[in-house]
Structure 1
Amino acid sequence: MRKVLVFTDIHLVPEGETIIGLDPYARFARGLAHALDSHPDAARIVLCGDLTHNAAPAEFARLRHALDTCPLPVSLMLGNHDRRAPFLAAFSEAPRMESGHVQHHADIGDYRLVCLDTLDEDAPDLHSGYLCAARLDWLDRAIRGAGAKRVVVFTHHPPIMTGFGGMDRIGLRNRDQLAARLAASGKVVQIVSGHVHRSIQGAAGGIPVSILKSPCHQMPMAFGDQDPSLSIDEPGAYGLLLLGDEGVVVHSEDFSLPPTQAAIYPDAVTGFPG
């Protein structure tokens, strides 16, 4: 199996600042070190948007510093807290469309990873996402160009409703359009998203969707029409995708939990582990 590491909703802030008392830079650095130590054989890292909290140049510079010694190739994506101009000023080498949208793909064995740009800098609510016709047409070409490869699509804004009313209000406004295109292609086997700061499973157009937690702060289990800025100090996490012959397996690793010692316990009936 090929491995892909996924971090989403990093929310870097200027040095000395915190979010609900947590240091996003320290959390991300700890998570990245844990992921690289645990999975040095990973093929790539995907950063699935909300790289920064305020899209300030200093925040993107901190991300650049955090990635300076990373030994793996990194796919950078944008979320609603980011902005393209300061991102591209800090990461001028990042692949992008002619329109300036930050979309790209990478092939790993029998899979193609397609990273989309759902950022809408003109969103009426500031934080919802949208995929314009140009981005969707590029997506179609990227999927067709995959040939016989299976496709995994990454978005910041998830293409499903989650039950968190506040987050769904600032979700992907044309989620149904995206889901229809992905389903019609017949090649997309997995969608991976962020934005909600919780581990959530669902499906869009019959395609499995995995939403991953942040390495920093999480959304509390507050269903209904709640404020989308609600945050709670729960374990930070990153995602691990296993790309195999039988399909995609998605894991979530809570790296900020205290270390524990694994033990084998016998089954009460047979006496064997089970």
Structure 2
Amino acid sequence: MDVPHKALIFTDMHITRAGETIIGLDPLARFEEALAHALARHPDAAQILLLGDLTHTGAPEEYARLTSALRDCPLPVAATMGNHDLPKPFAAAFRNDVDEHGFAQAALDLGPLRILLLDTFDYDGKAKLGHDGWLCDLRLAWLEAELARAATEARDVVVACHHPPCPTGFWAMDAIGLANGDALLRRLRSSPQVKHLICGHIHRTIMASADGLPVSILKSTCHQMPMMLGGGTSADSVDEPGAYGILLSLNGAIVLHSEDFALSTGDISRYA
């Protein structure tokens, strides 16, 4: 069995200003616990991905608190935007993650696997509800070019972004998903090297299929969406364990685990 190539994925941290909480939870403390949990158990990981909603309001102080928490992280970090982020403060805090057009996206290699980190923030105000995502022609063209490059190099591809392009059954969250998700799915469907799509935004662990493409949605490190299928609002939240993702490229397979933290000590025991 080959040694797996591994990346750690965190999403929807919603870091607040100092002293502020969300439903009584401290998002920074939750993220720091998640990061420590992941690094202690997966020191062999090669990359960390942050899938947006890094902050709760996009305030510079919130980004400063997050970058301070990441300062001693031994792994390279790549971040993209979510609907709770703001472009200018994000770019100031994560300047290495912003391309020449101002988008937070990148092509990263995890062993033989190509990860395309795609920015779904609505820069143009095209979406109707303010928190939906939107992919402009420039970002779709970037995606097409990267998919063509991966095909030339015979690399399998995982695409990771904030907004899911498919419904999840949480109507209020689906209303603020990727507004032009069909445009994304058309391109992914036409590229056989694309094997998986990973998203955040919903604050639940969800496995889906969108036009035949496997889609995984990861929980927040902080607060979660209550299991209220078909009802509720996008602001409904519940204090359930946070989680992070563990992406593996292993013997030609692509595997994504969702790991809850803060449930117990995690010490390993054997039953008789």
TM bucket, shorter chain? over 0.9
User: In the alignment, which residue of structure 2 is the partner of 1:124?
Assistant: 128
Q: Cα RMSD (Å) of the superposition?
A: 1.2
| 3-state SS, counterpart of residue 70 of structure 1 | coil
Aligned counterparts, 1:31-70, within 5 A: 31-70=34-73
- Aligned partner letter, 2:139: R
Q: Distance in 1 between matches of 2:154 and 2:32?
A: 37
User: In the alignment, which residue of structure 2 is the partner of 1:212?
Assistant: 218
User: In the alignment, which residue of structure 1 is the partner of 2:204?
Assistant: 198
| 3-state SS, counterpart of residue 109 of structure 2 | strand
Regions of 4+ moved over 6 Å: none
User: In the alignment, which residue of structure 2 is the partner of 1:24?
Assistant: 27
1:7-34 per-residue CA deviation (whole Å, 9 max, x = no partner) reads 0000000011100000000000010011
| 1:185 Cα offset (Å) | 1.1
Q: Distance in 1 between matches of 2:270 and 2:20?
A: 43
| 1:207 Cα offset (Å) | 1.5
Q: Distance in 2 between matches of 1:131 and 1:225?
A: 27
- Using the size of structure 2 for normalisation, the TM-score is 0.94
| 3-state SS, counterpart of residue 190 of structure 2 | helix
- Structure 2 counterpart of 1:115, from 114, 117, 125: 117
Q: Distance in 2 between matches of 1:235 and 1:61?
A: 25
User: In the alignment, which residue of structure 2 is the partner of 1:270?
Assistant: none
- Higher Cα radius of gyration: 1
1:150-207 per-residue CA deviation (whole Å, 9 max, x = no partner) reads 1010010012110000000000111122111011011111110000000000112312
Question: 2:55·2:62 contact (CA, 8 Å) conserved in 1?
Answer: yes
Q: Distance in 1 between matches of 2:219 and 2:254?
A: 18
Q: Distance in 2 between matches of 1:47 and 1:208?
A: 20
**1:256 and 2:262 aligned:** yes
Q: Distance in 2 between matches of 1:247 and 1:206?
A: 17
1:98-119 per-residue CA deviation (whole Å, 9 max, x = no partner) reads 3211111111211111001101
Q: Distance in 2 between matches of 1:186 and 1:105?
A: 17
1:124-161 per-residue CA deviation (whole Å, 9 max, x = no partner) reads 31100011111011001111112211101001001211
1:52-107 per-residue CA deviation (whole Å, 9 max, x = no partner) reads 000000011111101100000111011000011111112222241x3211111111
Q: Distance in 2 between matches of 1:76 and 1:116?
A: 10
User: In the alignment, which residue of structure 1 is the partner of 2:173?
Assistant: 167
Q: Distance in 2 between matches of 1:218 and 1:59?
A: 20
- Structure 1 counterpart of 2:104, from 102, 105, 110: 102
User: In the alignment, which residue of structure 1 is the partner of 2:248?
Assistant: 242
| 1:262 Cα offset (Å) | 4.0
Q: Distance in 1 between matches of 2:95 and 2:215?
A: 31
User: In the alignment, which residue of structure 2 is the partner of 1:152?
Assistant: 158
- Using the size of structure 1 for normalisation, the TM-score is 0.93
| 1:246 Cα offset (Å) | 3.0
- Aligned partner letter, 1:120: D
Question: 1:217·1:234 contact (CA, 8 Å) conserved in 2?
Answer: yes
Unmatched tracts of structure 2, length 5 or more: none
Give the 3 Å change call, closer, same or farther, for CA 106–255 of structure 1 in structure 2: same
**1:15 and 2:21 aligned:** no
Number of equivalenced pairs: 265
User: In the alignment, which residue of structure 2 is the partner of 1:139?
Assistant: 143
Q: Distance in 2 between matches of 1:261 and 1:110?
A: 33
